[in-house]
Amino acid sequence: MNKNLERLYNGLWKENPTFVLMLGMCPTLAVTTSAINGIGMGLSTTVVLVLSNMMISALRNLIPDRVRMPAFIVVVASFVTIVQFLMQGFLPSLYTSLGIYIPLIVVNCIILGRAESYASKNPVIPSMFDGIGMGLGFTVGLTLIGIVREILGNGSIFDVAITPLNDFHITLFGLAPGAFIVLGFLVAIMNVIRRKMEAAGKPLPEVQGCLAGDCAGCTLSSACTGKSLVHKKDELPPVNPKDVAKPEPVQATVRQTANAKNTEDVEKSGSDSSYADDDIVGKEEK
């Protein structure tokens, strides 16, 4: 699969931030009282995510490892401020209904998570697609929750009233407990679909391993021991698999053993993306 398309697929379905990674729960639960709010929150996060991913990716060799968090925050906060002012100027009603949650995009786990685990290690273009994929995945998640809550809680969809539901508003779904309940049910439905897909013999396409030099697209990076080895490959042109197959005796075996470990760890670590590994990687690089 094309690497960039794979990033989109990853964000939208395989590692959907809302339903699979369970990141960014604060805005997810708080602002999804209506479909419009969900889309608004999702899209503004997407914009910030794409821009900050690109910027951080471009600066990834300049930012010292020790101060990367403050550096990321500064980048993200600048973009959030821009988005906030634009929204205040052109979409005042959405701005009021999202309220405090716009400035809070700065500390959204998805954005920091992607910066940390992807953008800071990968070239600009894949980082951009990663941002788009994750952002759209977030948007879809929020919009779905928003639609369900709006229909049940307010009897309308995208602010258009559904006439038969006029007398059937369940206020609970407009409040916080409703958000939890709807989220839980959507996650459950999604897990059922996944399980059915796997049972039907359509396992989710696995990402090519480290041998392809695609550490970025590798969801196992958190479990990967041979990571620093491949990590530097990113700057090199992608390795042709045939070259790897012809053994340069020592290195190839190292890689293969590392790889074999990874495939075992796949089931355990699931689709969790990488956070814990970064310190180790940093040390190894030094």
Partner 1 sequence: MSNLLKVSSSPHVRAKDDTSRIMLYVIIALMPTTLFGIFNFGLRALLLVAVCIITCVLSEFLFEKAVGKKSTIKDLSAVVTGLLLALNLPHTLPVWQAVLGSVFAIVVVKMLFGGLGQNFMNPALGGRVFLLISFAATMTNFEYDGVASATPLALLKNGEAVNTLDMLIGRCGGTIGETSAICILIGAIILILLGVIDLTIPGVYILSFAIFIILFGGHGFDATFLVAHLCGGGLMLGAFFMATDYVTSPITPMGKIIFGICLGVLTGVFRIFGNSAEGVSYAIIFSNLLVPLIEKVTVPRAFGVVRPKKVKEVKSNE
CA gap 147, 143 in Å, rounded: 6
Among 22, 67, 175, 254, binds partner 1 (CB under 8 A): 175
Residues 54 and 75 sit within 8 Å (Cβ to Cβ): no
Stretch that binds partner 1, among 56-64, 83-91, 169-177, 215-223 (CB under 8 A): 169-177
**Distance set, CA 214 to CA 180, 186, 200, 220, 228 (Å):** 37, 32, 28, 11, 12
190 binds partner 1 (CB under 8 A): no
Residue placing its CB nearer to partner 1 in the complex, 166 or 251: 166
Tokens of residue 283, six digits: 């040390």
The answer to whether 241 contacts partner 1 (rule: CB under 8 A) is: no
Closest CA to 101 of 172, 50, 32: 32
Q: Minimum distance from CB of 190 to partner 1 (Å)?
A: 16
Listed ranges 10-18, 167-175, 195-203, 221-229: which one lies at the site for partner 1 (CB under 8 A): 167-175
Q: Is position 193 an interface residue for partner 1 (rule: CB under 8 A)?
A: no
- Tokens for 272, please give them: 């969790």
Binding region for partner 1 (CB under 8 A) out of 80-88, 171-179, 219-227, 245-253: 171-179
From 8-16, 98-106, 174-182, 254-262, span contacting partner 1 (CB under 8 A): 174-182
Q: How far is the CB of 174 from partner 1 (least distance, A)?
A: 9
Query: Can you tell me the distance from the alpha carbon of 277 to that of 69, in angstroms, rounded to the nearest whole number?
Result: 15
CB of 169 to partner 1, least distance (A): 8
Question: Nearer Cβ to partner 1, position 1 or 175?
Answer: 175
Rounded to a whole number of angstroms, the minimum distance from the CB of residue 33 to partner 1 is 14
Told to check if 172 binds partner 1 by CB under 8 A, we report yes
CA distance 217 to 10: 9
User: 3-state class of 102 per DSSP?
Assistant: coil
- DSSP H or E segment with residue 68: helix 68-90
Residue window 118-157: x/- pattern of binding to partner 1, with contact defined by CB under 8 A: ----------------------------------------
Q: Six-digit token pair at 103?
A: 């400035």
Closest residue by Cα to residue 32 from 138, 149, 137, 162: 149
Q: From the list 96, 99, 161, 168, which residue makes contact with partner 1 (rule: CB under 8 A)?
A: 168
Contact window for partner 1 (CB under 8 A) among 2-10, 69-77, 168-176, 231-239: 168-176
Nearest to 47 by CA among 98, 94, 82: 82
DSSP state of 286: -
148 touches 182 (CB < 8 A): yes
Residue ranges binding partner 1 (CB under 8 A): 168-173, 175, 177, 181
